[in-house]
Amino acid sequence: MENEFNYFIGVKFIHSSRSYYFSCKENDFAINDRVLVETIQGKELGFVSILPQEISQYNSNLELTPIIRKANEKDIYFFDENLKDAKLAADIFNAEQNKLNLQMRLIYADYTLDKAKITFTYSSDDRVDFRELLKVLASRLRTRIELKQIGPRDKAKIIGGIGICGLPLCCTTFLNEFDGISINRAKNQMLAINIPKLSGQCGKLVCCLIFEDDIYTDLKKLYPSIGDVISYNKIDFKVVSFNVINKQITLENAESDMINLSLDEYNKIKFNKENKKQNRK
């Protein structure tokens, strides 16, 4: 049987900068159209962020869930009312967690469209025993409740801000994964290990350390190793550092005299020296 869902679209939700994909039968959707979808949280109203594309272009292993339909006036009304009620629920959450002296920082509260469930997303430096808080919230809000703890990177992704480069944070615009952001990447790029300067709005290492790391790894293959010795003007110099951006190599001799050579100059000296050795043979 031929698949009746011929297209897929990208959908964003109010507290997320990431697009999630859903299948659809027609391609009559415009950016910012409101659509009703079923998610793991329940029925939610989202905004079209990526225009319809043919299903043959979908290359993910994740199964697509079909959209339910375009949102109607009733859906939009309930959505707007839920936003107001979620703010009231957030006030209740903050008041009750303060009474219980819990170290939790609420980021947002979010109802499903049918108000069958409310999710409180919060951050905390430690694990929190929120069982008593959950009981109080359940008795006051009369709906299913989920408390969801997120890390500092995810918090920055939700809240947003301006990075040290002067542009909006990468995690709020296009970056969805935070894999492999370690101090080893800073070392590979020969950056000064100054943690405050290498940290982003979230207090963790800046995500942009991953962008140029592979380039540095490839470029460094063109340079000598630290500690290599070369004869310059009949004096032995040791490689103490190099800069792949300006293509400079810093050398130091036994008298602590230092000189800078370009990569081309260094390779020329090395090439001539190797040729002389070959000729002696």
pLDDT digits over 261-281, tens only? 999 999 988 877 665 555 555
Residue 2 has pLDDT above 70, yes or no: no
Query: What does the pLDDT look like over 53-77, one tens digit per residue?
Result: 999 999 888 889 999 999 999 999 9
pLDDT per residue over 162-191, tens digit each? 888 888 888 888 877 777 788 999 999 988
Asked if pLDDT for residue 5 goes beyond 90, the answer is no
Domain boundaries, the chain: 7-71, 77-150, 154-216, 229-280
What local confidence, expressed as pLDDT, does residue 41 receive?
86
The predicted pLDDT at position 273 comes to 64
Q: For a pLDDT cut of 70, what percent of the chain falls above it?
A: 96
Distance (Å, whole) CA 66 – CA 210: 35
- Render pLDDT for 222-259 as a digit per residue (tens, 0 to 9): 999 999 999 888 899 999 999 998 999 999 999 889 99
CATH architecture of 77-150: 2-Layer Sandwich (3.30)
Q: Are 55 and 6 in contact (CB under 8 A)?
A: yes
